[in-house]
Structure 1
Amino acid sequence: MGKPSGRRIAVTLVAVLAVAAAAAVVLRVLAPAEVETVARGAYPAVPTPPIGVIGRLPVAPLVVDGRLRVYAGARQVYADQPVSRKHRVTPFWSYRRWPAKLVGVLAEGTTVVSRWSDGKLVALDARTGRVAWRADGPEPGALPEPRRTYAATVWNPAGLHVARAADGRAVLVAAGPGAVGGYALADGRRLWRAEAAWGCRTDVGTTAAGEVLGLDACAGPATVEFRDAATGAVRSRWRPPDAPERLVVTPVGCRDGHSACRGLRTGGRDDETGRGWLVAGGEPLAAPALDGPDTELDGERAVGTTGGVVTGRSARTGEELWRRGDLGPVRILAVEPGRVHLLTERRDLVTLDPVTGAERSRFAMDIGRDGIGWVPGRAHAADGYVAVERARERARPDDDDQGYFLMAEPVLLAAT
């Protein structure tokens, strides 16, 4: 066999270099990575927008610190500003990860926490977009694919909550099918972790009394479990009187998502009403005014709608505190501390004071020539702002996004 010619050596060398280059490209594209794009401008001041509809957005905004709008994408969390701008604009800051997917976003003060499909928790400083800390949390398990607005991701993140410990510290709680853990919100330090058999413990939320709520069916009938948010120690276990075998627990009166909740509604899977309870540390107290499904909680005041009448009652005693029969058929769209937001048949947004029933604002939820031919999807309220998805009047839950949403920019944002 003769020596290889110079031409054959050159061809072989080119082939080797091509393979190496291709491997480098694949590694660069597929290797785990994160991209942190921090803010270049100053942190915006708190605006004072006029009362009414502010703008129309393609994705759901999470209002943070009354200044920013934070959004979710498949592999990105980002913010624009000011909160009162009519349309979504160039990001103020952005954070991306690959190949993990974003599954939840939560904001507390100026800290924005993102949760990812690999269990990673990444906290960002809302003022700059810089990473404040990273921590390893429980894997979230399989979650439904979010719609293109990502409303569920930012308004009700699965298994991601915050609580205030007895000493005032903010504790982040992350839960998955096999574990739940508590983390110091200030620096991401893990405070505790509790394991459970896969799938027998369901995350519920946190209470205003600094407890972590879970539904535990690992060793018997489903029981509501109350853990200390700072230590993870089980404070108590409770099962409602005459509870059905397949118990369902829904938190109510929550400050944001399922965080800092002041009440519960318990029932069976086919129960359309349920029983209401106040939770303030210790065993839950019966709250008959919360028994109805069209009832929400602000502090210890229950606001409900029946037959076109809106009433405010003492959740503890059921005593009627005020009544409004002048609004026609309405539904409760969203509740935040000190405000209950109602949507009328004519798509007017009416905001009432839950203490007195006095009207704080009223205006049409319409912009431009969009009209009122829509039904509300998910909604959220914070800092006096209300955002709502607009779905087609005949939309069904199993419709794809094109058939479900009214238009390309289905989310309205309003200031009340």
Structure 2
Amino acid sequence: MDSSFEIISEEEVQAINSALEDGDLCKATEKLNESLKEIENAPLNIAISGESGSGKSTLVNALRGMDDEEEGSARTGVVETTKKPMPYPHPLYPNVTIWDLPGIGTPNFAADRYLESVEFSRYDFFIILSSERFKENDIHLAKEIQAMNKKFYFVRSKVDSDLLASQKRRKKTYNEENILNEIRQNCIQSLHDGGISEPKVFLLSCLELEMYDFYNMYNTLEMELPKHKRHIFLISLPNISLPVLEKKRQVFKKDIWKLATLSCAVATVPIPGLSVACDIGILVKAMVNYRKSFGLDEQSLEKLADKFGKDVSELKSVIKSPLVVQEINKELVATLLTRGAAGALMVVEYAASNIPVLGSMAAGGISFGTTYWMLNGFLKEIAEDAVRVLTKALDSPV
């Protein structure tokens, strides 16, 4: 086990220990539960802005893992189609909302009143999109956002079109890396000239989101988002590549400790049957969430198969874990719990030495170990299956 993963924050440890010192086990349990709910229910509002025709709506759809023609997708077009700020909840995580904002400088959204018109305060950060050089309106918007102490990022879209055009013009001297650097430096220079000292510019193709600077962008967002928003941002990312799947595995692995510690805390409350019921509830909810986030539920598999012109049976053929394709319910988890005690004993001693709270909750050690052992094993299996399924969809050798 990797002790480098975050387990429980110092503030949470102090609050739980304080409750335990007062003999209030229910309060300690409540503190853990509050921490988990804060992570799970944190709202995240992302604003996509820029001039008309820059590809805002297509980026909104891509970040939600949707195609432009799907029901519920943002409307796209070659002219400005957004007349007012339009919220688009994530199809799997409704507390994540991508906002398609009207183009700055359009008749109803003049640059000098833009932020007021789109209700600036509700967004966690802004992505300012342009398919060409960033212009006066983009720079004006960035300065206004900066003055109000919020994060913003410049995205230069449609670089795939630029590369294709360049390839046709420079058949002998075409060099993708050099052209991307030229585009990036050109954007940075235009922003410097406009008074933006350290612009963060990312080159993207909204149609091929995993290309170019997408990973640099999401790594930057991961570092700069508040801790309680970071989790939901990462698990809501579309499953477009193997690095995204690995990032999700790491994020979920961190939270297993909290779920197991909550199970441990409940086990110390002297109410017959409470611990088992809690363990089952924790496991069912977490396992369903893992499958949903990794895109291995039936609906997601059908969507992936359709996107890559495959039959769903082809993708399912590489799934090795029998749990992934079963209905995850209380009955299944109750059966699994009876097999988990042996594995639980292997983690109790290690965990007790690494999580201060466990020392005060010795009675819940087995409950902690069982929950940890089962979730860690299921996460490993489903993450490996997700890699096999995506690799199969991309037609690469597994």
Length-normalised TM-score, structure 1: 0.25
In proportion to residue count, which structure has more strand? Answer: 1
In proportion to residue count, which structure has more helix? Answer: 2
- Tell me: higher relative CO, structure 1 or 2? Use CA pairs within 8 A at least 6 residues apart: 2
Length-normalised TM-score, structure 2: 0.26
